[in-house]
């Protein structure tokens, strides 16, 4: 009995250490994620980081100077949103294999965590290790 429990704990610790290593690698990769988007007419370019925060906004040529403020603002919003979508996809790719089963990263970003699902997942994991 003790030997079986010891083996289970050893296995659980090995899995935990492997997950920690995977998470550490993923977080390093996330720190490097950036995405850029350019407007169709190439006047505006936006770059965001892995969290979707704007890190650079560049205007090309002179045409943007003649745009109405509302038009220029719309272009900026459009390219920033496009860059954010690209960054989110890159983050999903990095984190895809590390999230618990049933966790939809896109929905999590849009709606926040589903606490009931998190608890259900945790209960399932406890059940797995208590056998």
CA angle 101/102/103 to nearest 5° reads: 95
What per-residue confidence (pLDDT) applies to 100? 67
For residue 43, is pLDDT > 90?
yes
Comparing CA positions, the residue from 57, 109, 51, 105 lying closest to residue 80 is 57
pTM over 0.85? The answer is no
The residue ranges of every structural domain in the chain are: 2-99, 100-131
State mean pLDDT over 63-87. Answer: 96
* Chain segment 12-33, per-residue pLDDT in tens: 888 888 878 877 887 888 889 9
Q: Which fold has domain 2-99?
A: Ybab; Chain: A; (3.30.1310)
Least confident of 26-40, 56-70, 71-85: 26-40
Q: Around 56, how many Cα atoms within 13 Å sit in the side-chain half-sphere?
A: 11
User: Across all residues in the chain, what is the average pLDDT?
Assistant: 84
Q: What is the pLDDT of residues 102-131, one digit of tens each?
A: 666 667 666 666 667 667 777 777 666 655
CA angle, 36 then 70 then 50, to 5°: 20
């Amino acid at each position: 009995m003790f030997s079986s429990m010891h083996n289970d704990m050893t296995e659980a610790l090995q899995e935990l250490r492997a997950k920690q290593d995977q998470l550490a690698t993923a977080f390093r990769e996330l720190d490097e994620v950036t995405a850029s988007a350019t407007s169709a007419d190439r006047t505006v370019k936006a770059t965001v980081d892995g969290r979707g925060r704007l890190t650079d906004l560049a205007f090309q040529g002179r045409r943007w100077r003649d745009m109405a403020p509302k038009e220029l603002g719309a272009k900026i919003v459009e390219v920033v949103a496009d860059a954010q979508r690209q960054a989110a996809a890159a983050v999903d790719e990095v984190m895809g294999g590390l999230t618990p089963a049933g966790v939809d990263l896109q929905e999590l970003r849009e709606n926040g965590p589903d606490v009931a699902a998190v608890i259900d997942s945790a209960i399932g994991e406890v059940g797995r290790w208590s056998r």
